Every structure is written in structure tokens, then in C-alpha cells.
Structure 1
Amino acid sequence: MDDERCPRCQWPLTELQRSGSSHPASAGRVDYRRCVCGTWLLVVNGTLTGATRGPKIG
């Protein structure tokens, strides 16, 4: 997760507090993080794998 960023606002994940929850899973560790723009981010084993909002258009 060296240079991963929020797909909506491009805020670096390394600067986000772990404000969501973290859970063990069969694939390793699943973390939910809230970005400063309000987007929820899904991080699996340190890799951004999903977000509740897409890139901002316009």
C-alpha cells in the first residue's frame, strides 16, 4: 500500500486513520477505512480492493 490512493479524491491511504473496522478473513485481513472525502475503502491484506464511490467526474 505504498502509493495507493482513494479513487475519488486521491488522498493517500497511508495518511488515513484506521477509523473503520478490521477483521480476520480466510484471505488474510480485511480493513474498512473512511477517507476524508467520505468514501468507504475496502483494504484486503494492505491492498485497496474496493470503494463505495468512483472517481469524481468534472
Structure 2
Amino acid sequence: MNDDRCPRCQWPLSDLLHGGSSHPVAAGRLDYRRCVCGTWLLIVNGALAGATRGPKIAS
């Protein structure tokens, strides 16, 4: 995954508000952040680790 953009819409993560929830975990810090396109992003220690939606496929 590209660590600095949403995998669905390519919006820069640095431009997203730091809303959502943040939790301490054994590996460091786990953050859930909502992108402008509606995708939930899973961020572990500042790096994108997962998303609820994959890349948008052009038809």
C-alpha cells in the first residue's frame, strides 16, 4: 500500500483531520481515520496498514 495516500481515492493522508479513534497497542499506536471518500483507514504507528475499500476501478 502507498503509505501516504488513500488507496481508494489517492487523497493525501496528511490532509485528513485527525478525527476517528486512537488506541495504544503492543506494536505502538493504532488509529482509525475516515477519508473524504468515506473509506476507513487503519494506521499503525503513522503508516497505512489497511482500508475498508480497495482502489476504485474505472469502467
TM category (shorter chain) comes to over 0.9
Identity of matched residues, %: 77
- How many Å apart are 1:19 and its aligned residue? 1.5
1:7 corresponds to: 7
| Unpaired runs of at least 5, structure 1 | none
| Unpaired runs of at least 5, structure 2 | none
1:24 corresponds to: 24
| Cα RMSD for the two superposed structures | 0.9
Could you report, residue by residue, the CA deviation over 1:2-58 in whole angstroms, capped at 9, with x for unpaired residues? Answer: x61000000000000012100000000000000000000000000000000000001
Q: How many residues align?
A: 56
- Give the letter for the 1:49 counterpart: A
**What is the TM-score normalised by the length of structure 2?**
0.92
CA separation in 2, counterparts of 1:18 and 1:39? 14
